[in-house]
Amino acid sequence: MKNISELIAQKSGYKNLVDELNERLSGSELNSLLIELFRKRVKTISPAELLRQFKKNRFAAPSSIDPIPFREFELRCLRVARDKNFKLVTLSPLAPLGTCSVTGFVDQNNVVSAVRGTEVVADATNVFALLIASNFNKKNQHAVVRYAAAQRHVRSQALSNPAFTPHFGIFCLATGGLDTGDFSFELKNLEEHIGLHLAILSNELGKDNLSLKILLKGHNEVLHGKLKPLVKKFSSSSKIEIVKEMNHTNYYNFLQFRFYFNHNGEEINLSDGGFVDWTQKLIANKKHRLLISGLGTDLIYKIKESMA
């Protein structure tokens, strides 16, 4: 992307075009410039060219999933979350520019940036972090907040696997609240998220071929020991493995969990979750905890359909 911007700058005759626009223009001025640029560009597009663009633009292609049974599946997910006291939300398809990149570790090039200070939602859990942080000082700060949504996500990175598409469904969950000490907040809500994932996956695919992997981030024997009752609770419903991940990335803190499904001899990752520090950055409070997770609804639906 940088090489392309450099070529454009050279072509325009302004070597530092991108840097100067970024430094000299305010956010509103840059938005106005882009809006006007797109307005002028649209006037040059003919109906025939529009049709050609629709045929070749991978972001515009509709999903092959049958919408009625898929929506019914999403409704089942939402009802499970509602019964676990999660607040169900219908999120906007847009979020503020930088929602995934500012607090997380996502390259903005993997997000579809838009005008008017927005981007297309690439991960609803990042939006949940903003919701939880924005309401932190408005309500009881010691309350535990739970959100759930069935959301269509769009991501712009190139995909080599034809089974993966630029837009796809994810059932997302987030739980936020203040640390209560001794990993009690983490363990209680981790159990809730894992139980919810297990309920949805076993209902849709059965539990015989499900497995759960818990990845411990770093060396924490105290947390490892406290996980044993949780492992025992779910061991009758799913194969569970705890793995110590010493050279981990900074996306998740403490731990991460992943559910896998053995489909025709292949282990497929269907869902995952873990603790992130996004709300700590947003509200500048190191005591705040945020647990996020998501299930790949497109993937789960397609696997179930193939088994029918």
The pLDDT, as a whole number, for residue 247 is 65
The pLDDT, as a whole number, for residue 10 is 72
Q: Which pTM does this prediction carry?
A: 0.91
Is the Cβ–Cβ distance between 271 and 201 less than 8 Å? yes
How far apart are the C-alpha atoms of 81 and 90, rounded to whole Å? Answer: 14
DSSP letter for 62, please: P
How far apart are the C-alpha atoms of 242 and 265, rounded to whole Å? Answer: 22
Tokens 């997910």 correspond to 77
How far apart are the C-alpha atoms of 79 and 189, rounded to whole Å? Answer: 18
Query: What does 226-292 look like in DSSP terms, one character per residue?
Result: HTHHHHHHHTTTSEEEEEEESS--SSSEEEEEEEEEEETTEEEEEEEEEEE-HHHHHHT-TTEEEEE
195 CB-contact burial (10 Å; exposed 0-12 / middle 13-18 / buried 19+) = middle
205 CB-contact burial (10 Å; exposed 0-12 / middle 13-18 / buried 19+) = middle
List the one residue out of 170, 151, 148 whose CA is nearest residue 291. Answer: 148
Q: Which residues contact 53 (CB under 8 A, 6 or more apart)?
A: 45, 60
The pLDDT, as a whole number, for residue 139 is 67
Tokens 């796809």 correspond to 168
The pLDDT, as a whole number, for residue 12 is 66
The pLDDT, as a whole number, for residue 185 is 94
Say if strands 87-88 and 145-154 run parallel, antiparallel, or are unpaired.
Answer: parallel
The pLDDT, as a whole number, for residue 236 is 78
CA distances 1 to 6, 70, 96, 110, Å, are 9, 36, 22, 11
- Give the H/E segment covering residue 170: strand 167-178
Tokens 């663009």 correspond to 53
Positive or negative torsion for Cα 157, 158, 160, 165? positive
Q: What is the pLDDT along the chain (308 residues), one digit of tens a residue?
A: 557 777 776 766 667 777 878 888 888 888 898 999 999 999 999 999 999 999 999 999 999 999 999 999 999 999 999 999 999 999 999 999 999 999 888 888 889 999 999 999 999 999 999 999 998 877 677 889 999 999 999 988 766 666 678 899 999 999 999 999 999 999 999 999 999 999 999 999 999 999 999 998 877 788 888 898 888 888 877 889 988 886 666 789 889 999 999 988 889 999 999 999 999 999 999 999 999 999 999 999 999 999 87
How far apart are the C-alpha atoms of 87 and 93, rounded to whole Å? Answer: 18
The correct CATH number of 67-93+121-307 out of 3.40.718.10, 3.30.930.10, 1.10.357.10, 3.40.980.10 is 3.30.930.10
Domain limits, CATH 3.30.930.10, in the chain: 67-93+121-307
